[in-house]
């Protein structure tokens, strides 16, 4: 399927077949969901799948995680009619921040931060990122929000892998993702059957 084509039947997660395979080798964990954002209907359907479970919730602010979480987070915020908070990787903000150290799928120690004036005790936050692999990044964002006394209403990501950290998120927070049950095992092994159409 060309990336701009639309299928007749837009079943849940149809757009995942637009996601490109990792061709950079086994040490590079990423699949590339960003390719599905080229297609306006795919992006809109993906954002709907992330947003729908939270439509009846009280949400004050949507927080998206640096960098790919900004795309989906800002889209979700617009659909919900809410503001957007950028959760930044350390070193980009020129104001007072709260910080949180974490380790992600690369195994490297990292730090994320948010400015201090966005969240107050009781602020209800929906956290959005592109992907949850080890869950280290999302857990750090949850810790940041909670350190400031705000409440995590839920977590939304294209995929939440069934890693220890991914399962911890699913067990402890409400969540939304775009993966139909029958595709979850393909996500967990980082290879979709649809990758065969990419010819490698």
Ligand X SMILES: Nc1ncnc2[nH]cnc12
Ligand Y SMILES: O=P(O)(O)OC[C@H]1O[C@H](OP(=O)(O)OP(=O)(O)O)[C@H](O)[C@@H]1O
Report the partner that residue 190 touches, choosing among ligand Y, ligand X, none (CB closer than 5 to 8 A by kind): ligand X
**Greatest CA span in the chain, whole angstroms?**
51
Q: Which positions from 16 to 45 touch ligand X by CB under 6 A, shown as an x/- string?
A: -------------xxx-x------------
Establish if 46 lies at the interface with ligand Y (CB under 6 A): no
Q: Which positions from 97 to 116 touch ligand X by CB under 6 A, shown as an x/- string?
A: --------x-----------
Instruction: Pull the structure tokens for residue 128.
Output: 């959005």
120 and 93 in contact (C-beta within 8 Å)? Answer: no
Pick one of 67, 78, 92, 120: the residue that binds ligand Y (CB under 6 A). Answer: 67
CB of 6 to ligand Y, least distance (A): 26
Report the partner that residue 173 touches, choosing among ligand X, ligand Y, none (CB closer than 5 to 8 A by kind): none
Pick one of 136, 159, 177, 183: the residue that binds ligand Y (CB under 6 A). Answer: 136
User: Nearest to residue 187, comparing CAs of 19, 54, 51?
Assistant: 19
Pick one of 35, 82, 110, 190: the residue that binds ligand X (CB under 6 A). Answer: 190
3-state secondary structure the chain: CCCCCCCCCCCCCHHHHHCECCCCCCCCCCCEHHHHHHCHHHHHHHHHHHHHHHCCCCCCEEEEECCCHHHHHHHHHHHHCCEEEEEEECCCCCCCEEEEEEECCCCCEEEEEEECCCCCCCCEEEEEEEEECCCHHHHHHHHHHHHCCCEEEEEEEEEECCCHHHHHHHHHCCEECCCCHHHHHHHHCCCCHHHHHHCC
Pick 150 or 155: Cβ nearer ligand Y: 155
CB of 132 to ligand X, least distance (A): 8
User: How many positions of this chain bind ligand Y (CB under 6 A)?
Assistant: 16
Report the partner that residue 67 touches, choosing among ligand X, ligand Y, none (CB closer than 5 to 8 A by kind): ligand Y
Q: Please give the residue ranges that form the binding site for ligand X (CB under 6 A).
A: 29-31, 33, 105, 130-131, 133, 190
Would you tell me which residues interact with ligand Y (CB under 6 A)? Answer: 65-69, 104-105, 129-137
């Amino acid at each position: 399927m060309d990336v701009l084509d639309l299928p007749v039947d837009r079943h849940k997660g149809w757009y995942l077949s637009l996601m490109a395979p990792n061709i950079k080798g086994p040490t590079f964990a990423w699949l590339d969901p960003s390719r599905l954002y080229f297609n306006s209907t795919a992006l809109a359907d993906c954002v709907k799948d992330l947003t729908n479970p939270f439509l009846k919730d009280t949400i004050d602010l949507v927080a998206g995680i640096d960098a790919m979480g900004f795309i989906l987070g800002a889209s979700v915020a617009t659909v919900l009619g809410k503001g957007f908070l950028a959760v930044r990787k350390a070193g980009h903000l020129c104001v007072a921040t709260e910080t949180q150290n974490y380790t992600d799928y690369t195994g490297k120690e990292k730090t994320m931060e948010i400015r201090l004036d966005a969240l107050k005790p009781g602020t209800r936050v929906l956290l959005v990122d592109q992907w949850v692999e080890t869950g280290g990044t999302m857990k750090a964002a949850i810790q940041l929000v909670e350190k400031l006394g705000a409440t995590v209403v839920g977590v939304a990501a294209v995929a939440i892998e069934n890693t220890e950290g991914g399962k911890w998120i699913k067990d402890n927070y409400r969540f939304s993702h775009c993966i139909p049950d029958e595709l979850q095992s393909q996500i967990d092994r980082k290879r979709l059957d649809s990758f065969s159409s990419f010819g490698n």
